[in-house]
Structure 1
């Protein structure tokens, strides 16, 4: 069966629709840049990596470079992104399956700044072994996996 031909697919067995999130991992020695979310519907008041979602018509690398520019005011060439971790996340809040992609840039242009103060009230580098207790849980998980060199993990799925 051709996987792109869904004419023989039984009713109710549609492929899962994934939400794709992109996350920027900016490391400085043993610290990582996190922003504290502010005035947001998701994880308000929690620390999180600079991140966002793919928009219709975008490639994954373009999503990440767009988010970096929007949130931090930095320019990253798509070819300077390295995928360092993939997290398949089952969101307990809404039951949606999410593919969270974590990227490290080889280089970037510009100075990191809070370019969205209406959505982020602080940017700070935190030690990887001393993240704040109010960090988005899947972010803590992913950073731990990245530190261990793991490139793929899951969170939220039944054991």
Structure 2
């Protein structure tokens, strides 16, 4: 385990959307042309922007990436993961079962497929930290460390 320094650390915050359909499946997109894990499936997600709440970021990312409208009241916390990548970041995972509109690929330059998967039948190729988070979520564990 690394020894913590005296300098305050600034964390990058990420939000991840588990959009769950009536069959209990979760929506994933396959990354393309991003330079990071292209070909891997990942949840709709993004970085928290300055002055933005986690829920506001999730609502914004849902609209930007998959064209759906989510109300803040429909957002349910699922998991938080402290990930060691980029010097340390925190990934928040939220469940949403009620939304407006039909999911569609709003970023074809970064995503070449949208598909629904059951938690016990996830895609073969996923970003590793996301796969691990999904396992924690399926086991109803709300907190995890990754890469520390």
Counterpart CA distance in 2 for 1:99 and 1:53 is 10
Q: CA RMSD in A?
A: 1.3
1:89 aligns with 2:83: yes
Q: Secondary structure at the match of 1:35?
A: strand
Shift of 1:118: 1.0
Aligned to 2:61: 67
Q: Secondary structure at the match of 1:116?
A: coil
Counterpart CA distance in 2 for 1:119 and 1:128 is 24
Unpaired segments ≥5 residues, structure 2: none
Counterpart CA distance in 2 for 1:147 and 1:15 is 33
Is the Cα–Cα contact under 8 Å of residues 82 and 106 in structure 1 kept in the other structure? no
Aligned to 1:14: 7
Q: Secondary structure at the match of 1:25?
A: strand
Shift of 1:147: 0.7
Cα deviation 1:80-126 (Å, max 9, x = unaligned): 211110011111xx4x2010000112411111111111110000012
1:1-159 to structure 2, matched below 5 A, reads: 13-28=6-21, 29-91=23-85, 94=86, 96-157=87-148
TM-score, L = length of structure 1 = 0.84
Counterpart CA distance in 2 for 1:78 and 1:106 is 12
Shift of 1:39: 0.9
Counterpart CA distance in 2 for 1:22 and 1:107 is 18
Is the Cα–Cα contact under 8 Å of residues 79 and 137 in structure 2 kept in the other structure? yes
